Structure 1
């Protein structure tokens, strides 16, 4: 990472601060009209050097200050030698204490950096990045965690290309942050197996329900009910989109017009099933046909943290309007997700109260299929350029 200009200025200021401190103390000592001793303030110089520039500089500067404290800077008075000797001893004590403290702090900093790297790797494996293209569908996703320092919270998403079509899951575990990770891991692991094995979406949903009930339970479980909302989608080869919804917000379809404008519509307003964990699934979970995703159209999935985000005036984030504005002009799913994310952060001034996740996909199948070499089975003319 290249340091910014402000960071370089701060680093330079820290390097020269101990020397400026010593020069100021010496100048004050020489120019003081009352004959007051300020040489004792030199004891702070090694501590400043240790914090700002490191242990080696602390020892070198502290040793110089200790020797300098023994040098009289003017006419000697009775008792000056004792004061200077005491100041020299105080500087040596500060050097030793600062050196040991800095060594321990450096070791702790290295351990924190190592643990942070391990945590980031683990969280990326759990909520792994989506491929940019999956069976002719362009994909992008984004996530904001409400827990400081966490990359993953209570939201989950995944997209897999199977022989049944592209299957997508978007979910939201009750709560947010690191305590919800066990449930997120259980649901994602179950989906990544069931999406390939189960011929129908109800079978996938039942596997997720079993994984939810078998997940590891915290040592101190909450007194409130635990649940998770789940939206399962299947984009079939004929562009038909079907869904199973357990308490999750319905997806939006974003369509761009020829003049570059766009509009966003919710694909269904039907009452979903209850979230997983509250009630048993019905014998025949209703699979709904949402729409056909035509070439160039976007499908956007999200968690309720996006719609429930508020600004300082307690106004909800206008998600549908933000989607329409983000869909204008050109750009793929990654651009759309980044624009909505930026609009959300502007609306909330960078502070989110709940985890937020977005997943956008665009039907690029005509271009991908048309790009096949002539004579390959399935090659058709490119539609729409």
Structure 2
């Protein structure tokens, strides 16, 4: 026989009641200690005496009880805090999981920093996936930051991870993201305004997402679609420059996408070159004097004098950013670095030819060749 427990209905349906067991456990021992203190005060003859020794003993008892109470409550809340952090870490690994270190011959690394103290996830989103159409990368920034933007991040990222594989054209991927965002905002509007619907002055009506889509083919050819997002920086030797200076489209949300939406060709990402995608929280970060963070300067320092790797770029950017903002950035920051480790075709062909020649020499000079020569 299956038993079904009744739950309190709400406007969104039946939900599980909050678990109050940790709070009850936290109150059991303080209540016991309080009862012991009252019993000592009322029943113990030493507590009723007015001598100095009796007062010292009474004070010692109440001090021990108070100290035990504080220690117990502290341990309880620390345990609950550790559990909450484990849950937040698990949610982050599912929602904004780091990309694999290598994606179809490209080295990839990404990291993000939330402006909300203690939050593991912010309003920035990124992903890089290898598809039959090339490596497709998304970088986005939801209006606002912190926990309020997590739902929008989940809607856009979930749509991208499916559309990147399903859609052969990059513009169709962007249209899928736009439709997913529209559905998400519509659901939020119905939840927040169930009777009157979405009002023009509500936060949902003003919400938007900046999105940058990149498609990197096997030969390094890069195509892009940009909706209100900063263009990535290209690191080529000692040169640090934007990938392109074309005007982006408006962000997703407030305006419909145009009917004609061709992907913009942005040249090639040659072997040894690096793309640095970022959200505007990086370049908008200010120090105590109001000076903006200079991302190109930090990238030039990361690229100068040694081999560029995505991990070194991320380390130097976030170290310099935290130093610039004194450890308290005002907005979420996300950085994704893509480095082309693929061998050039001519170099690969020469390497293959050398391998074949070495194999032939080994066949002629090896034990079988010696036997044939004898």
Name the TM tier (shorter chain): 0.7 to 0.9
Tell me how far apart the structure 1 counterparts of residues 150 and 339 of structure 2 sit (CA, whole Å): 29
- 1:109-159 CA-partner distances (Å, limit 9, x unpaired): 211111111111111221101111110001111211111011220000000
Normalised by the size of structure 1, how large is the TM-score? 0.72
Aligned mates of 2:128, 2:153 — CA distance in 1: 15
1:154–1:184 contact (8 Å) kept in structure 2: yes
Equivalent residues of 2:285, 2:331 under 8 A apart = yes
1:280-291 equivalence runs, <5 A: 280-291=256-267
Q: Which runs of 4+ in 1 moved over 3 A?
A: 218-221, 367-371
TM-score, normalised with respect to structure 2: 0.74
**2:333: which partner in 1?**
356
CA shift, 1:321, in A, is 1.9
Work out the CA distance in 2 between the residues paired with 1:244 and 1:198: 14
Are 2:241 and 1:265 aligned? yes
Matches within 5 A, 1:106-255: 106-215=75-184, 216-217=187-188, 222=203, 225-255=206-236
Structure 1 SS opposite 2:154? helix
For 1:48-88, what per-residue CA distance to the aligned partner results, in whole angstroms no more than 9, with x for missing partners?
xxxxxxx9xxxxxxxxxxxxxxxxxxxxxxxx971211220
Note if contact 1:162-1:196 (Cα within 8 Å) is conserved in structure 2: yes
Do residues 84 (structure 1) and 53 (structure 2) align?
A: yes
Instruction: Choose which of 251, 263, 270 in structure 2 pairs with 1:294.
Output: 270
Which residue of structure 2 lines up, in the alignment, with residue 366 of structure 1?
Answer: 343
Could you say which residue in structure 2 is the equivalent of 1:20? Answer: none
Q: 1:198 to 1:223 in 2, by over 3 A?
A: closer
SS of the aligned residue for 1:101 comes to helix
- What residue number does 1:335 align with? 312
Counterpart for residue 277 of structure 1: 253
Number of residue pairs the alignment of both structures matches: 298
Cα drift, residue 224 of structure 1: 6.3
d(CA) in 1 for partners of 2:182 and 2:50? 78
Structure 1 unaligned residues grouped into runs of 5+:
1-54, 56-79, 257-261, 380-385
Judge which range, 350-359 or 325-334, deviates more. Answer: 325-334
Gaps of 5+ in 2: 1-29, 31-48, 193-201, 357-374
Q: 1:254 to 1:142 in 2, by over 3 A?
A: same
Farther off after superposition, 95-104 or 349-358: 95-104
Q: Is the 8 A contact 1:247 1:272 kept in 2?
A: yes
